[in-house]
Amino acid sequence: MLDGAAAGAVLAASMVGVAALYDLRERGIPHWALALMGVACAAFLAVRWAAQGAWPQPHDAAWMGVACAVGAMSLRGTLVARGDAAMIAISGVLVPSAAGIPALPVAMLVAALAAGAAHIARTVVPNLAELARTGSIFGGVDEPAIRKAAALLVVRRRRRGERFCFAGEVTRGGRRRLALLPGPPDSAEIMARTEYVISVIPLMVPYFAGSCAVAAMAILLA
């Protein structure tokens, strides 16, 4: 039988898993899904507190305030990456700590490690493979070797049919140059002729790994 913290951690991981599927497919989480998860979170907490016969602890109340504020801004569309922020706030309310260990820092640390591994697999490894196979990288781009070496960690060749990415090159004075930082979203016309891109990793996917780590920690240490 799971205790309250472990049950909350499992519920949070399940919700983040659903959000990760939407984020992976659409790079966004529907408002109805956020609202439904918020209601489920509130219902779970109400049942948990009623069973314990106690009012929320101060840190729980603080997280509830944060989650409500983030949720309101998310539904109004006034918050950047609003779906991701709302899901992180909801998971923080459901499981503020596991076995006395703050849960959100653990989830974010695991998410950062997972995102780093995903970036290496998606960008650095293909670039190194192309360099080993052809002896060159970023052909057709007018850049010095040192800048190409730096771009090897950030920019990669675009895959066929890829939609979710930033342009990794710009044209200045008739010369193709590499863009090492993502800029504003480019038009469909620009992206159609862009050969090199910067990956966009959906945040909820690595955060799901972090949520699963917190759930496992809550169950094992309960």
Q: Read out DSSP for 6-66?
A: HHHHHHHHHHHHHHHHHHHHHSS--HHHHHHHHHHHHHHHHHHHHHHT-PPPHHHHHHHHH
Triad 191, 194, 196: Cα angle to 5°: 125
Q: Tell me, what's the pLDDT at 124?
A: 92
The per-residue pLDDT for 80 is 43
Compute the average pLDDT of residues 38-67.
72
Helices and strands: H and E segment counts in the chain: 9, 7
Rounded to 5°, angle at Cα 74 from 39 and 21: 70
Q: Which of 7-16, 97-106, 162-171 has the lowest mean pLDDT?
A: 97-106
In Å, how far from its chain's centre is CA 222? 28
pLDDT at residue 78, as a whole number: 42
Which residue type is seen at 13?
Answer: A
Q: Looking at residue 79, what is its pLDDT?
A: 41
Q: How far is CA 96 from the centre of its chain?
A: 19
Instruction: Kindly give the pairing relationship between strand 169-172 and strand 165-167.
Output: unpaired
Cβ neighbours of residue 170 closer than 8 Å, sequence gap 6 or more? 176, 177, 179
The pLDDT, as a whole number, for residue 126 is 92
Instruction: Tell me which of 116 and 97 has the higher pLDDT.
Output: 116
**Considering the chain, what is the average pLDDT of its residues?**
79
pLDDT at position 208 is 92
Task: Report pTM.
Answer: 0.76
CA 101 to chain centre: 22
Q: How far apart are CA 19 and CA 125, in angstroms?
A: 28
DSSP bridge partners of 67: none
Cβ atoms of residues 170 and 204 within 8 Å: no
